[in-house]
Amino acid sequence: MRGVWIGITVMSLLWSATFVQAQEGKIIFEEKFDGKLSGWKVMAGGWRNDGSISSFDRGLNLMLLNKPIKGDWILKVPLFSLYSYPLPEILLWWQDPDNWLKFIIDARNGTFSFREMRNGNEFQPVTKSAKLGDYIRVDIIKQGNKFTAIVDTEYRLTYDSKTSKEGYIGLRGEGTTGFVRFFQLMELPGSVVTPPSPETPSKEAPLPSESAPFVVDPNDLDKLASQLAENCANHPIAKEIMKKGNIAIATFDLIDISSPSVAKNAVEDLSTSMINKGFQLVERGQLDKVLKELKIQSSGAIDPKTAQEIGKLTGADLILVGSISDRGNFVVINARLLETKTGKAIVASRVEMRKIPIKRD
């Protein structure tokens, strides 16, 4: 039995050494999603690209690197969950709708898995459970026909596809998904990987409309402020911070809403309501300056590390982040307070709100 444990330990050390080597490989493609997509082709759907990327069209959304990737590689993709919404699926190879291999994370149920389709037949997924937060780091290593996923440097899952895989790498989603902050592809030592062509820009995602078709009812935003105040009073950490701490309000992410003015107007009205409820807010201009310096354009792009940086630069003890989702006749705002010291969400609220149409001459 002792020999078995020694063998396992040696294998673990060898794997760690291989992983370190992989991390030191040459970067052959990197995308920070902070401007035009270069080296990609949008196959289906619409994508938001403003410091992070997410799909938003109902139905299939598909985005692939513009060249098939050959050789062995390591792919680094950090994901940010959007509460009850699915995360983008990472396509490890794609030939057509009947032949693909993808990596899926279900943050709601705390699982991640490999799934494969060959000639229209889907294979039983290899699945593992994990304790997942809002920010999820994913490293996927391809060695021959074997794919290994390392999630949050703690959980590991390996899948042997049995057949050679030389195809497209990309992202896939159905409807609204979480966010991808960056996408980095690296060579494994000893392999030669053909990178996509950076000089070939992809189809741009639709540009959002500036004119807001509606505003969120200020009275309902006042209810959200009251709910946040009540939830903070019932939470020991938030209650203590509230006595002397400052709160920064990040611009909310929009789901199935094209006009950024909807979020700006909502945050302005919510700020007024929160001040009236006794919250001490960081000056908006100061926060905007810091977010610009950190190149953060969306609430979903704030991970634990950037939350700490925002806290240091603005003096904020809490950051309010969230999303506004269009549900037809009303919108839903999901809001969370992140403690800047830890980057963890400590208070959350969800409120359905009425839409007030804006009539223009």
Distances in whole angstroms, Cα of residue 300 to Cα of each of 2, 63, 187, 351? 47, 20, 29, 18
Would you say residue 137 has pLDDT above 50? yes
Look at residue 281 and give its three-state secondary structure: strand
pLDDT in the model for residue 2: 38
What DSSP assignment string belongs to 292-326?
HHTT--SGGG--HHHHHHHHHHH--SEEEEEEEEE
Q: How far is CA 326 from CA 118, 270, 297, 333, 348, in A?
A: 37, 18, 20, 9, 19
Question: Using CA atoms in the order 81, 87, 91, 95, what is the torsion angle rounded to 10 degrees?
Answer: -160
Residue 72 is encoded by which pair of tokens? 């062995």
| Cβ–Cβ < 8 Å for 246, 280 | yes
- Domains of the chain with bracketed CATH: 23-187 (2.60.120.560), 214-357 (3.40.50.10610)
Asked if residues 223 and 231 have their Cβ atoms less than 8 Å apart, the reply is no
Residue written as tokens 């493609």?
Answer: 29
Note if the pTM is more than 0.85.
no
What is d(CA 152, CA 257) in angstroms, rounded to the nearest whole number?
Answer: 31
- pLDDT over threshold 70, residue 269: yes
More confident residue, 204 or 136: 136
Confidence of residue 84 (pLDDT cuts 50, 70, 90): low
225 pLDDT above the threshold of 90: yes
Confidence band for 99, pLDDT divided at 50, 70 and 90: confident
Q: How far apart are CA 319 and CA 336, in angstroms?
A: 8
Residue 44 has pLDDT above 90, yes or no: no
Examine the pLDDT at 208 and tell me if it is beyond 60: no
Q: What totals of helices (H) and strands (E) does the chain contain, helices first?
A: 6, 22
Q: Is the pLDDT of residue 104 over 90?
A: yes
- Which residues does residue 31 pair with via DSSP β-bridges, in sequence order? 183
Residue 48 has a pLDDT of 80
How does the average pLDDT of the chain come out, rounded?
81
Amino acid at 265: N
Tens digit of each residue's pLDDT (9 = 90 or more) over 149-187: 999 888 999 998 876 667 899 999 887 788 888 899 988
3-state secondary structure of 230: helix
Give yes or no for residue 323 having a pLDDT over 90.
no
The CA distance from 279 to 264, in Å, is 19
Structure-block tokens of residue 227: 């709910």
The pairing of strands 318-326 and 253-255 is parallel
Exposure b/e, 149-177, CB count within 10 A at least 16 = b: bbbeeeeebebebeeebebbbbbbbbbbb
Q: What is the pLDDT of residues 324-349, one digit of tens each?
A: 988 888 999 989 899 998 888 899 89
What is the model's pLDDT at position 205?
45
Confidence band for 361, pLDDT divided at 50, 70 and 90: low
